[in-house]
Each structure stands twice: as structure tokens, then as C-alpha cells.
Chains A and B, each alone.
Chain A
Amino acid sequence: MVASRAVGSLSRFTASRMLRCPGYICRSFTRSSALLTRTHINYGVKGDVAVIRINSPNSKVNTLGQEVHSEFIEVMNEVWSSNQIRSAVLISSKPGCFIAGADLNMLTACTTSQEVTQISQEAQRMFEKVEKSTKPIVAAINGSCLGGGLELAISCQYRIATKDKKTVLGSPEVLLGILPGAGGTQRLPKMVGVPAAFDMMLTGRGIRADRAKKMGLVDQLVEPLGPGIKPPEERTIEYLEEVAITFAKGLADKKISPKRDKGLVEKLTSYAMSIPFVRQQIYKKVEEKVRKQTKGLYPAPLKIIDVVKTGIEQGSDAGYLSESQKFGELAMTKESKALMGLYRGQTLCKKNKFGAPQKEVKQLAILGAGLMGAGIAQVSVDKGLQTILKDATLAALGRGQQQVFRGLNDKVKKKALTSFERDTFFSNLTGQLDYQGFEKADMVIEAVFEDLSLKHKVLKEVEAVIPDHCVFASNTSALPINEIAAVSKRPEKVIGMHYFSPVDKMQLLEIITTQKTSKDTTASAVEVGLKQGKVIIVVKDGPGFYTTRCLAPMMSEVIRILQEGVGPKKLDSLTTSFGFPVGAATLVDEVGVDVAKHVAENLGNVFGERFAGGSLEVLKGMISKGFLGRKSGKGFYIYQEGVKNKNLNSDVDSILASLKMPSQPDVSSDEDIQYRLVTRFVNEAVLCLQEGVLATPTEGDIGAVFGLGFPPSLGGPFRFVDLYGAQKIVDRLRKYEAAYGKQFTPCQLLVDHASSPNKKFYQ
């Protein structure tokens, strides 16, 4: 439960959330030398309207790459030169995707910023021609319209979008450490106003169709259709096209004006923005906010502000130039490489590499209606899984049911669900105190208290009632799965599913397989996790698995640093300024001091000196005084309901003072403290790969960032080693090893990477 609690606190962090939004899609296609027919873009003429259809072969999504770009130019030139054609409709033939963004591979293949700038300028030129087209072009949007896709859409004269849940418009470039490089920074502020444009570009948030209509980002909405003469998706696209054609004709005939009536608020805003002083204030305000939130770790947001400002203050020529240059610069930064790596990793971890399970899980049973159990139920019922939630007492069960309901109801308040959908989902949940219905369960996930004998007890009880094919999954953060499976009659069906709290917010799921776990059981667990919307890493069994094991040595170092006299506030600010979403001392409070002690003790016993550092007595001392962290109201900080700024708990000072360790000045600079924490984390992560606990570095990075809040700007421990340099990290470790001993001894794999600079975790 350690890591899971730990990460409760991370939910407030925006950077880890921001990676949810798929902006850019990696796709590698082979390029054939002779391209006589167009593969991605084709068009037909209906009356006097050209219908340009984008449909990249062998891919679920359309992306803007070189080929698409050149085909688009060809098609547009034909459209413009044809006498028959008076207007055009731009539409995707793929259900659920208009254009998902630029082709990420095209960017990562570039080695210099000049190359990237050139790509940006080519796109800018193309979209400018679209914008200035005398024949009106209507973008008919169904599905994701992101990044370059949105930039293309806002270059068109008119936009019509389906009011589908899949239709999302956004500029997620910032989440990949870059900026909208095809005129987006210049056109978006003109279209939706400067404040809204900043919001879109700086947060990367996706905007649903109805909201987009209100903002003026799209001009018309089309309702998705149900079954009729064709399957709904197909007919919806057809209908969208029909509607778009009538609007294209109307625009060409000047019966419809592309100009939109602005509301009063909008008019006032645009008036205010015409006053230079107001503009300056807004730039300043936005910049301050960005600096505060990014702590200078992410260069992209500041550049976006800069580029927008240049365009508004110095004219669009300067704006476009600045946009393409900054785009090139950003694409070469470590941060963007780290973020793009995470994005690719996330995509990989959303696939089931174990194949489809023999039997699909339809009936799920969860034991324990605590925070975790109810959280798991919540992410299951809304995916259509029939879920039994079982606890021992009515009170505990009721609390769990309420948690599920509240989770769903919050979505209703945010208008992400209708109250009817909420009720339907909630009806998938059955709360009970007995094992009724378990005979039909396809999977049981236990989330009972972290106690081996208790877990053994429930495992035996459950095995007496479940059918043969039913998978038994244990949600534990530290207890080895093989020890839990020891009492099982069918260990091949036992697996670990380590969720992170709060389950509905944290994206990671760590699946733990023992040597006896069958491949089909793993496939089943991954399938369920994916259905629940999780990003999944599959690791081998062992004490602490991967996530908890990496966190433990860092926590040990946290205690030592505190004992050396660094105050919790100072430590927190050092860690957050390094890119961790939550300060290290706060993290202990969030995890729970007792839990931290429990894990430290357990893993300390197994791994010995490598996990040593701070004294366990600090934690024991705090526990004896009842300072268990946030849950008890006091830990390193004092937590009060409704009080935002937390104060230090001065009573801890005496405990720390009595256990004070001498600090060693040569390894106690601010930077050293940061690196002592990070290098221990990284060293343990690399050791996990060396020992085969981890199968791939990608999973290591994803697990660390999405589960533990490892700084996303560094891309995860393995990406960090690649970008920062293995040698530098080994040097640091050696330096700290000299001061503290074996805890800092670099593992063999890390040393190997340091000694041969060509060795990289990511080639």
C-alpha cells in the first residue's frame, strides 16, 4: 500500500495528468519510392464541391507527415485550379479521428533545429494558402482534431464538428515540450481570443465539441446518428459530409457568412485586448503563473507565450518566423525528448502484448470496500464490468458504495456523464457481505488489509467458491505474490495487480507475475486493466516489485536528509524544484508514516545495507506520538480541514533533534541533496532492469513517472540516464558512496552504460 498511498498525493500534479491527452501519434510507415497514386488523400467532386478525404492506410489515425503534406498540396492545387470546383470539404474517412496531430517520427528523425524549423515553415506556408483560399474550405471534424490537425482546421474558412464524445479539439503540443508550429500560435488567439488561446496551448487540454462551439472554435455541430441504413459511425461521417457540403455551397454562394456573431463578453474581451496596457498585464500574469507552476523545468510554455506575444505586438510575419524558430529550438530540448519518450511509452503500455485472454472477464468481484477496493470498482463499473463489491461489515461496504457513487456523480457535475448514465453504471455494482455470485466471477481482485495471513485466509475462502477459470488478483504494494500464492490450489491463476491511489485519478497499474502465473492469467489481468483505462507495466515478482522497491531507498534518504538537519519545508522545495510533483517530506505524510515504516522495515530486511540510510527510529518515534501523516492530521506537517497552507509540526523537531546525524558538507549542497535522492532512485530502477524484474526500460520509465511522480521533464529514470549521461550519474554515485557507503554503489548495468557511451536504454 505504500506506493499506492504515496501516489495519492501525486494526483494533484498536472504534469502527470497532462500525458493523458494523445496529441501526437507515433507511426512508422515505410516509404515507397514511386508514389503514382495518392495513398493518404483523395478527393471527389459533388456538384461544385470538392470532397477531400484523408485516410492514411494501415493506421487507426491520420497524422500529418511529409507524404500527407505533399499529397495535400497536390490535391489543393488541383482544387484551386479547377473551374468546376467552387468550394471544398475536408473530411477524414476514419471513424473517431480527423487528424490526430503531426507525425511524431518526422520530428524525432530531425537532428538539428533548422530541420524542424523548416518543417514548420513548410506547414505554415501551406496553411496560409488554405487560409487565403478564395474557394471556401469547410473542415468537417469527427473524432480527434489535435495539434497539427487543429491548426489545419482553423486555417479553413469554416468548421463543422460532430457532437461525439470522441470529437476533441486541442493543442497538446505543450505536453510534448513543443509548441503549435504550423501557425496555431498566431491563428488561435485571433479565433478564440488571447486568454482562451493561452489556456488551450499552455494546458494542452482537449475541448469537446459543444464547448468548442461556444468558444467559436467550430461554427456548427452535427449530432452523431444511430443505426439507420448503415452502421452508426459510417452514416454519421456520411451525414457530416452531407451537411458540410451544404455549408460549403452556402459559403461559395455567399448565403452563409463565415463570420460569427460574438457575444457581449467576447466583444468586451476583444475590446480590452485592443488596449496595449491590458495585453501587457495579461502576458505578465500568464507568465508569472507558468513560472510558478513549471518552476522553470519546462521551456515550452514560456516560448508559447513569447511567440503569441510576438505575433500580436509585431505582426504576423514576425509571429510566424518566431513560431517556426522556437518550434525548432524546442524540438531539440531534452525536455521535449523526455516528454515525447513518455508519450510513446504510454502508447506502448496501453497495448496487451500477451494477446487476448481465452475468456473475457465480464463478472468482476472485489474484496474489501476500502479506498482501493472502491476505487477499483469505480473504474470498472463505468466500463461496463459487472462488479461485486464485498466487505465484512455493512458500514465499510456502505462507505465504499458511497465512494463509487460520489466518483460517478462528480462526473455528472462536470457534465462528463448524464445522471442517467451514472445510474446505469452504478447498477453494475452489487454490494454484499457474502460470497453469493462468486461462482460466476471471472476475476476476483482482493484489496483487503496488507497482512499476509489475512490475504491467505481470503484466498482460501474465495477459492472454495469461484469457478476454475477465475483469476485471483491481489492488490498489494509490497507483499510478494508468490508468498500469497503459496496457499493457493491453483497458483497459475494468481497474479498481482497493484493499483495506485486514488485509483480513478492515477493512471498506472503494475501487474506482477510469479513464475507460476500462466500467460493467459496475465493476458486477462492486462485486458481488465486496459478496460479500466490504465497504463500498464508488467513486472516480475519480488519484494516491493518495481515501484515500491524504487521508492524505498529514496525514502530512506529522505529520512537521513531530515536527520542531517534539513527542514521538511526546505526538502520539499528542493524536490519539487527538481521536478517531483510532491515534496519528499509531504510524500511521507501522504503515504502514512506507519506504512512507510512497515515497508522500510520489510524491504530493509530483504535488501540489507543498500536500503539503509535514515534511521527507522525517526518513523517509530513519530508513530509513538501518533504522527501518522495526513490521515491522523499530523505528520511532518499539521493538516487541518479547510486550511490550505499547512504548517510544520514543531513536535517532530525534537524527534529529529534527538536522532540528529552530522551532515557532510561536501555532499550537502542543495544540488547534492537533490541528486542523492534521485540517484538512489535511478540506481535501484536500473538494478530492477538488470535483475529482470523489469522487462523493458520503457516500462520502468512509465512506472516511475505515472506511479511515483518521477519528474516527467526527465522522462523517467532510464531516459534520464540516457539524456543526462550514465557517466555523470555514476560519478555522482561514487561521490556519495565515498561519503555514505554501499547504499550508493552503482549497479553493474549502470556502470556498463557509463563505460561505453554508445550504450543507451533507448536507441
Chain B
Amino acid sequence: MTSLLTYTLKYLPSTSQWALRFSVRPLSCSSQLRAAAAVQAKSKQTLAKPNMRNIVVVDGVRTPFLLSGTSYKDLMPHDLARAALSGLLHRTSVPKDVVDYIIFGTVIQEVKTSNVAREAALGAGFSDRTPAHTVTMACISSNQAMTTAVGLIASGQCDVVVAGGVELMSDVPIRHSRKMRKMMLDLSKAKTLGQRLSLISQFRLNFLSPELPAVAEFSTNETMGHSADRLAAAFAISRLEQDEYALRSHSLAKKAQGEGLLSDVVPFKVPGKDTVTQDNGIRPSSLEQMAKLKPAFIKPYGTVTAANSSFLTDGASAVLILAEEKALAMGYKPKAYLRDFVYVSQDPKDQLLLGPTYATPKVLEKAGLTMNDIDAFEFHEAFSGQILANLKAMDSDWFAQNYMGRKAKVGSPPLEKFNIWGGSLSLGHPFGATGCRLVMATANRLQKEGGQYGLVAACAAGGQGHAMIVEAYPK
């Protein structure tokens, strides 16, 4: 808390209206918080359930997240995933043969390594007797990897599972057009020269136009940025508010990086290049400079710009998840428990990015907690406008009653507990890898700040969403 305080005070002179507004809030709230921490008035002492295995995260790592097209550009996805896996091995010293299972999340699949979890595990020197599978659920793919691990352990199928995620946006599979592919496939089946010639004669120049991986939502044909811009407009969020929030994210990330708080990052020696040690997308700018940018999606009057959106990122992450008794038996000091989680989905057109709004009250209800019980919020920041829209939606009785079928709003998380080590806007967002970063940030923050409960939430393409409660492992 004090660090946040000093932070805001330090930045007060340099940043304008925004800092003023935020500086007031933490000041007034921090006293309450301190009081709350003293009383420890949590709704529940712990979220442990009788007759259920406790599941813990021992530790987690990630490669530095880099703007795509930079140092990782010549790698393949499994190279990055391998780096995360070896980093995890190194960090936790887990004996390779103890690992029962490996699960990775990814979104844009490299066709050569469609089960990237397996390829990476083999390359990272895990036992070839450890099965691995890959899951995909857009931006919550690695969340899905982790919750799959939770399921495997809870049901007693496994004790030790590695979950992670990877995304390499520097290279994406660009295909031949369907017509061209069809012709090539037919050619491979053609037996005589005549057949081949007649097939080739059907060739047209437009067969050569390539097919790019879809950037738009398949069901609605709308790009996510476009939807975010509409969402921001629907919640009446101004360009300035969005730029301010993005600036906050970058400033906080810069600070966390500077203070060495991003301890989940492990250095990665890129073959043929220098060792990468830190995220390279953090670039606090000024509101004036951000205001100069043109809207990226709804032109010419939209509010979502390159500066207030998350950028295309390369990166991988991995966490070690165990049954508590196994972890203790192995002599580990776990960082956190993984507790209740939910997945939600809603209209992919108009509510594409509102997953956190739907998931948050649901997971709190499931866990029997309230907003006040949460000490650390880690929400995935796809766009400034998306985060601010979710905050507004969570704070709206009207929205809760008319669209979520709830009696009242859940309330908006206090910003002083919210993404205070930066977020996807500044740290970067490798689609498949962000989930593990969120969980590790939550666990590390709880450890650092002495909080008990953390809440992870994220939206994902397809109009889906996820939330999970992370409970600090008692010291």
C-alpha cells in the first residue's frame, strides 16, 4: 500500500488530471484498507473445502513478453514454450519424471506443431513418458490449461501437472487460398499427365491470393478492436479516459519492472541473439502524445488507438501445479492455492469483451466471498476501453438487472488493488500465455502485500470469459 502511495505522490507533478484523480482515491482508501487488514474481516477464513484436495501453485515463470517482430521473430512457438518449461524446471528444480502431465494453451496454431505442448516438452527435456496436450480458448487458453490441471488433480488422476501457454505472433500460418489448395490436392492425386494438365489449365491468377489467419470474430466478422470501440461508446467512455488508463498501465508496469517485482520473468538466451531479460513493450508516454494518434478501428472518430490497446506479443509462460500434500511431501513451499473458478460466455457481438463482468460476481458467489474480501485483482487488459467498460458494467445496477439477471451490481474493484504491477496493455499479451501471467502476478502480489485472496479475470474472443480465486499460501 505504501508503495502505491509513494508512487502516486511521486508522479503527481508530472501527470496531469489523471494523477490528481487517482492520487486522491488511494489516499482516502488506503486508511480503510489498513484498518481492514488489521481486522482481517474476511467472509471466510479459507476456501478449503472438506473432502476436496487442496491444489497449489508452487511457482510459475514466463519468458519476457516481447513485441512481435522483435527478438523472437525467427523462433517457432515450441521454442518459446520450451524456454518457459526449462525456466520452470530451473526455478522449481522439480524432478522431470515426477511430472504426470503437461498442458499448454495456444491460440494461433503453428500447423507443424499443432500439439505444441508435446513438442515443447520433448525439447525441454521432460520425460518422453509424460503425456502432453494443447488446449485453445482464445485469450483464456492458458487459464483453461491451468483449470484442466486443477481438474486432473482434484479428481485424483494426477498429482503434478505443468500448465502453460505460448503465442508467437511474429509468424502466423498464412495459407494458400481454398481454390489453390484444392487444385494442389487434386494434382497430388492425378495419375496421368493429361489429368495434371487439365487441372493446371484451371489455374487462375486469383488462386494465388493468400488466406490470412482471421483477425475478425468468425461469428460476427467484426474485429475485436472494432467491438472494443463500440463497447467503449456504449459505456460512454471517452478517449481521454482510455488514454489515461493506458498510461496508468504503462507507468505501473515500468515501476514494477524497475523495482524488480516482475519476478516471474526468466531470462531467455535467444539462439543467435542476445539474452532477453525483460519485457520490451512497456513505454509510458504522455497524454499529449497519445492524443495525437488516430483511431485504429472506427475511423475517423473512434476512441480505440494503438496506444490504448494491447499489442501483438510473443511470449510463453508455465506454472507448476500440485496437490498440496504432494507439494509438501516434496518439500515445496507453495505460493498459492488455486480455488474456485468459472467460465462464462455471452453475446459475441455486443458483449464480446464483457467476460470479467459476468465472471466476477459468479466466482465470488461460488466461493462465498464479496468484493471486499479480495486483496489483489488481476484483470486481463485487452483494451483500455474494455477494462473501463467492465468496471462500469460491474458498477451498474441497471446492467446487472437487465443483462445478467442479477438483483444488484457486484461493484467495481478499487483501482488501488487493481493491476498495480501493470497489465496486458503494457506488459504485453501473448494470447495463449497471458492466463498464467495473471495467476502468477496475483500469487506474487499476495505474497508481497500480505493479502489473502486474489481474483483473476479475463475476457476472450467468442464472447467468453473466465474468473478464478487465488488464495495466498499461509506463511
Which of B221, B226, B229, B301 has the most chain A CB within a 10 Å cutoff? Answer: B301
CB distance from A196 to the nearest CB of B (A): 24
Q: Is the CB of A225 within 8 A of B301?
A: no
| Contact of B202 with A by CB under 8 A | no
Contact between A223 and B226, CB atoms less than 8 A apart: yes
Stretch of A227-235, A483-491, A664-672 contacting B (4+ beta carbons < 8 Å): A227-235
State whether A228 touches B298 (Cβ < 8 A). no
Query: A225's closest neighbor in chain B, by CB?
Result: B234
Is the CB of B207 closer than 8 A to any CB of chain A? no
Interface: A239 (CB within 8 A): yes
Q: How far is the CA of A639 from the CA of B460 in the complex (A)?
A: 56
Interface residues in A217-260 by Cβ distance below 8 A to B read 220, 223-232, 235, 239, 243, 246-247
Q: A228 with B389: in contact, given A220-B301, A418-B220, A420-B220 (CB under 8 Å)?
A: yes
Q: Could you tell me the distance between the alpha carbons of A246 and B221 in the complex, rounded to whole angstroms? A: 28
Q: Mark B399-415, 1 if CB is under 8 A from A, else 0.
A: 10011000000000000
Residues of A within 8 A of B298 (CB): 223
Known: A246-B301, A420-B220. A228 touches B349 (CB 8 A): no
| Complex partner residue of A226 from B218, B226, B230, B402, CB under 8 angstroms | B230
Contact A420 B219 (CB under 8 A): yes
Chain B, residue nearest A244 (CB): B301
Q: Which residues of B contact A231 (CB under 8 A)?
A: 402
Bound together, the chains give a CA A129 to CA B9 distance in angstroms of 58
> In the complex, are the beta carbons of B221 and A235 less than 8 A apart?
no
Of all chain A residues, the one with the shortest Cβ separation from B298 is A223
Interface residues as binary, A319-354 with B (CB distance below 8 Å gives 1, 0 otherwise): 000000000000000000000000000000000000
Residues of the B chain whose Cβ atoms lie less than 8 Å from the Cβ of A225: 230, 233-234, 350
Chain A residues contacting B220 (CB-CB under 8 Å) are: 418, 420
Instruction: Tell me the complex Cα distance, A226–B232, Å.
Output: 10
Q: Which bucket holds chain B's interface residue count?
A: 20 to 34
Q: Which of B230, B392, B396, B399 contacts A223 (CB 8 A)?
A: B230
Chain B nearest CB: distance from A10 CB in Å?
A: 35
The CA of A555 and the CA of B330, in the complex, are separated in Å by 94
Q: Please tell me if the beta carbons of A227 and B233 are within 8 angstroms of each other in the complex.
A: no
Q: Are B234 and A226 in contact, with the CB atoms below 8 A? A: yes
> Does chain A have a CB within 8 A of B149?
no
Q: How far is the CA of A224 from the CA of B298 in the complex (A)?
A: 12
Chain B positions within 8 Å of A228 at CB level: 231, 233-236, 389, 392-393, 399
The answer to whether A229 and B347 touch across the interface, beta carbons within 8 angstroms, is: no
Interface residue range, chain A: 10 to 19
Neighbouring A residues of B402 by C-beta, 8 Å: 227, 231
Of A226, A243, A418, which one neighbours B301 at CB under 8 angstroms?
A: A243
Contact indicator per residue, chain B 423-435, by CB within 8 Å of chain A (1) or not (0) = 0000000000000
Task: Give the docked Cα–Cα distance between A229 and B351 (Å).
Answer: 13
Chain B residues, CB < 8 A from A243: 301
From A223, A226, A418, residue with most partner B Cβ within 10 Å: A226
> Given A239-B233, A420-B219, A420-B220: A227 and B399 within 8 A (CB)?
yes
Instruction: For the complex, give the distance between the alpha carbons of A420 and B403 in Å.
Output: 23
User: Distance (Å) between the CB of A584 and the closest chain B CB?
Assistant: 47
Which residues of chain B come closer than 8 Å to A229, judged between CB atoms? 234-236, 392, 396, 398-399
Q: Which of A226, A228, A230, A232 has the most CB of B within 10 A?
A: A228
**B234: which of A220, A235, A246, A418 is its contact (CB, 8 Å)?**
A235
Neighbour of A420 across the interface among B218, B234, B347, B392, CB < 8 A: B218
Kindly report which residue of chain B lies nearest to residue A243, judged by CB atoms: B301
Q: How far is the CA of A229 from the CA of B389 in the complex (A)?
A: 9
Beta-carbon contact of B399 and A226 below 8 Å? no
**Bound form: Cα–Cα A231–B301 in Å:** 22
Residues of B315-369 contacting chain A, CB below 8 A: 347, 349-351
Q: Are B301 and A227 neighbours in the complex by a CB distance under 8 Å?
A: no
Taken residue by residue from 196 to 239, chain B's Cβ proximity to chain A (1 for < 8 Å, 0 otherwise) reads as 00000000000000000000001111000010011101111000
Neighbouring A residues of B229 by C-beta, 8 Å: 223
Q: How far, in whole Å, are A519 and B50 apart by their CA atoms in the complex?
A: 61
A410-424 interface (Cβ within 8 A of B): 418, 420
Find the B residue at minimum CB distance from A227: B403
Contact A226 B396 (CB under 8 A): no
Q: Within the assembled complex, what's the spacing in Å between the Cα atoms of A428 and B194?
A: 47
Among B218, B219, B236, B350, which residue has its beta carbon within 8 angstroms of that of A227?
B350
* Across-interface contacts of A247 in B (CB, < 8 A): 301
Within 8 A of A (CB), among B417-463: none
* Distance of A231 Cα from B392 Cα, bound (Å): 15
Chain A's closest residue to B302 (CB) is A223
Nearest neighbor of B229 in chain A, beta-carbon distance:
A223
Q: Which residue of A lies closest to B348 (CB)?
A: A420
A232 to B402, CA, bound (A): 12
- Complex-state Cα separation, A246 to B233, whole angstroms: 14
Query: How far, in whole Å, are A247 and B234 apart by their CA atoms in the complex?
Result: 19
Provide the residues of chain B in CB contact with A235, threshold 8 Å.
233-234, 236
User: Within the assembled complex, what's the spacing in Å between the Cα atoms of A228 and B221?
Assistant: 21
Q: How far is the CB of A614 from chain B (nearest CB, A)?
A: 55
Q: Nearest chain B CB to A228's CB is how many angstroms away? A: 3
Interface pair B221/A418, CB less than 8 Å apart: yes
Query: Within the assembled complex, what's the spacing in Å between the Cα atoms of A418 and B235?
Result: 26
A243 to B236, CA, bound (A): 12
Contacts of A227 in B (CB 8 A): 234, 350-351, 399, 402-403
Which of B230, B231, B233, B402 lies at the interface centre, i.e. has the most chain A CB atoms within 10 A of its CB? B233
A227 to B350, CA, bound (A): 7
Chain A positions within 8 Å of B221 at CB level: 418, 420
Q: What's the Cα separation between A224 and B226 when bound, in Å? A: 12
Whole-angstrom distance from the CB of A258 to the nearest CB of chain B?
14
The distance in angstroms between the C-alpha atoms of A299 and B427, with both chains bound, is 69
Residue of A nearest to B300 (CB): A220
- Measured CA separation A225–B347 after assembly (Å): 13
Question: Bound state CA distance, A246 and B398, in angstroms?
Answer: 28
For residues 262 through 316 of chain A, which have their beta carbon under 8 Å from a beta carbon of chain B? none
Give the chain A neighbours of B396 by CB distance below 8 A. 229
Whether A232 pairs with B350 at a CB distance below 8 angstroms is: yes
Bound CA–CA A574/B428 (angstroms): 75
**B360-384 with Cβ < 8 A to chain A:** none
* Closest residue of B by beta carbon distance from A418: B221
Which of the listed residues A230, A231, A235 has the most CB atoms from chain B within 10 Å of its own CB?
A: A230
**Which residues of chain B (227-276) have a CB below 8 Å from chain A?**
229-231, 233-236
A225 to B389, CA, bound (A): 13
In the bound complex, CA of A664 to CA of B144 (Å): 87
Min distance, Cβ B295 to any Cβ of chain A, angstroms:
12
Output the least CB separation between A571 and chain B (Å). Answer: 48
Question: Could you tell me the distance between the alpha carbons of A584 and B229 in the complex, rounded to whole angstroms?
Answer: 57
Extra A-B contacts (20), CB below 8 Å, given A223-B229, A229-B236: A223-B233, A224-B230, A225-B350, A226-B230, A226-B349, A227-B234, A227-B350, A228-B235, A228-B236, A229-B392, A229-B396, A229-B399, A230-B398, A231-B402, A239-B233, A246-B301, A247-B301, A418-B220, A418-B221, A420-B221
Could you tell me which B residues sit within 8 Å of A by CB distance?
A: 218-221, 226, 229-231, 233-236, 298, 301, 347, 349-351, 389, 392-393, 396, 398-399, 402-403
A sample of 30 cross-chain residue pairs with beta-carbon separation below 8 angstroms, ordered by A number, consists of A220-B301, A223-B226, A223-B230, A224-B230, A225-B230, A225-B234, A226-B230, A226-B234, A226-B350, A226-B351, A227-B402, A227-B403, A228-B233, A228-B234, A228-B392, A228-B393, A229-B235, A229-B398, A230-B398, A232-B234, A232-B350, A235-B233, A235-B234, A235-B236, A247-B301, A418-B219, A420-B218, A420-B219, A420-B220, A420-B221
9 interchain residue pairs of minimum CB distance: A226-B350, A228-B234, A225-B234, A228-B235, A420-B219, A239-B233, A223-B230, A226-B234, A227-B403
